[in-house]
Amino acid sequence: MPEPRPRGRPKSFHDKTEQNTVQSLDRAMTLLRALSDASGLTLSELAARTETSPATAYRVLTTLQTHGMVEVEEPGQLWHVGAGTFRIGSAFLRRTKVADRARAPMQTLMRATGETANLGVESQDEVLFLAQVETHEAIRAFFPPGTKSPMHVSGIGKALLAWLPEARVAQVVANRGLEGSTSLSLTSDSSLRRDLTRTRERGFAIDDQERAEGMRCVAAPIFNGYGEPVAGLSVSGPAFRMALSKADAIGALVRAAADEVTDAIGGTRP
């Protein structure tokens, strides 16, 4: 019988206090997050956004640059996230076979609807978009991998919430709140609960311009072997093309694609 692998966790593993964190690493992660939210920042801009001195920010950036995590663009001395972060981030996708198994159904979904297909999961009480198959239309939805969204204003988020236990839904609402993104966002617990009930009844969720005005989304959950929602597929597009009168037809296509991925990963539909 093989010996168990050592866990490698110190006695203070569960201690997240400040003295048990690496300050330089914390600064590096803060700088990377700031760069990921922008399309290029100068050293001064980055230092100001992260409340770091220019000298400290420069030392961190040059260290990250040696590992390919950041790049500097000439002229202008604009700093960007580098290819090294993509290679490391891609390991997240390798953790689960959902992304691989969803690719073909997403492509089929995009061709069948003429709109952009998306794959997302729940991460820290938000929707994290993992992959996208874009339509060729000039006006289209765009959620690059790594984009996050509050769950209550996202089609995928509501598709996941609808099949989560009541206690988990309450936890998400308590942790993140129900702040509105548009005038159509569901900002009360009662309105969200009614919407989740309708979502379960029809088998798919609708984001009716709740995250962005003029954009609609139809989404359905993907389940694991325990019948738990672990990811969601959606179709997103401008409201003038995705009329509510088409919601049932699009919802059936999205539901079928999500079920196909559920079957492919050995999941069970509740």
**Are both 151 and 236 inside the same structural domain?**
yes
Determine contact, residues 234/156, Cβ cutoff 8 Å.
yes
**Are both 66 and 129 inside the same structural domain?**
no
Residue 5: is its pLDDT beyond 80?
Answer: no
Predicted TM-score (pTM) of this structure:
0.70
Residue 76: is its pLDDT beyond 70?
Answer: yes
Instruction: Give me the pLDDT at residue 1, please.
Output: 47
Instruction: Give me the pLDDT at residue 21, please.
Output: 59
- For residue 4, tell me if it sits in a domain: no
Residue 18: is its pLDDT beyond 70?
Answer: no
**Are both 111 and 222 inside the same structural domain?**
yes
Instruction: Give me the pLDDT at residue 93, please.
Output: 61
Question: If you average pLDDT over residues 173-192, what whole number do you get?
Answer: 96
Residue 194: is its pLDDT beyond 90?
Answer: yes
Please state, in angstroms and rounded to a whole number, the distance separating the CA atoms of residues 24 and 31: 11
Q: Which range, 29-33, 82-86, 97-101, 167-171, is most confident?
A: 167-171
**Are both 49 and 149 inside the same structural domain?**
no
Please write the tens of the pLDDT for every residue from 221-260.
Answer: 999 989 999 999 999 999 999 999 999 999 999 999 999 9
CATH number, domain containing residue 34: 1.10.10.10
Domain boundary among 82, 110, 126: 82
**Are both 137 and 41 inside the same structural domain?**
no
**Are both 102 and 201 inside the same structural domain?**
yes
**Are both 256 and 179 inside the same structural domain?**
yes
Q: What are phi and psi of 21, to 5 degrees?
A: -115, 160
**Are both 96 and 61 inside the same structural domain?**
no
The overall average pLDDT reported for the chain is: 89
CA atoms within 13 A on the CB side of 96: 22
Supply 244's token pair: 């509510």
Domain boundary among 59, 82, 105: 82
Supply 261's token pair: 């991925």
- For residue 8, tell me if it sits in a domain: no
**Are both 162 and 250 inside the same structural domain?**
yes
**Are both 122 and 174 inside the same structural domain?**
yes
* Secondary structure string (H, E, C) spanning 114-177: CCEEEEEEEECCEEEEEEEECCCCCCCCCCCCCCEEEHHHCHHHHHHHHCCCHHHHHHHHHHHC
**Type of residue at 64:** L
Determine contact, residues 64/31, Cβ cutoff 8 Å.
yes
Question: If you average pLDDT over residues 33-43, what whole number do you get?
Answer: 89
Residue 170: which domain range? 92-264
- For residue 42, tell me if it sits in a domain: yes
- For residue 87, tell me if it sits in a domain: no
Question: If you average pLDDT over residues 208-227, what whole number do you get?
Answer: 96
Instruction: Give me the pLDDT at residue 3, please.
Output: 54
Question: If you average pLDDT over residues 70-95, what whole number do you get?
Answer: 80
Domain boundary among 82, 117, 136: 82
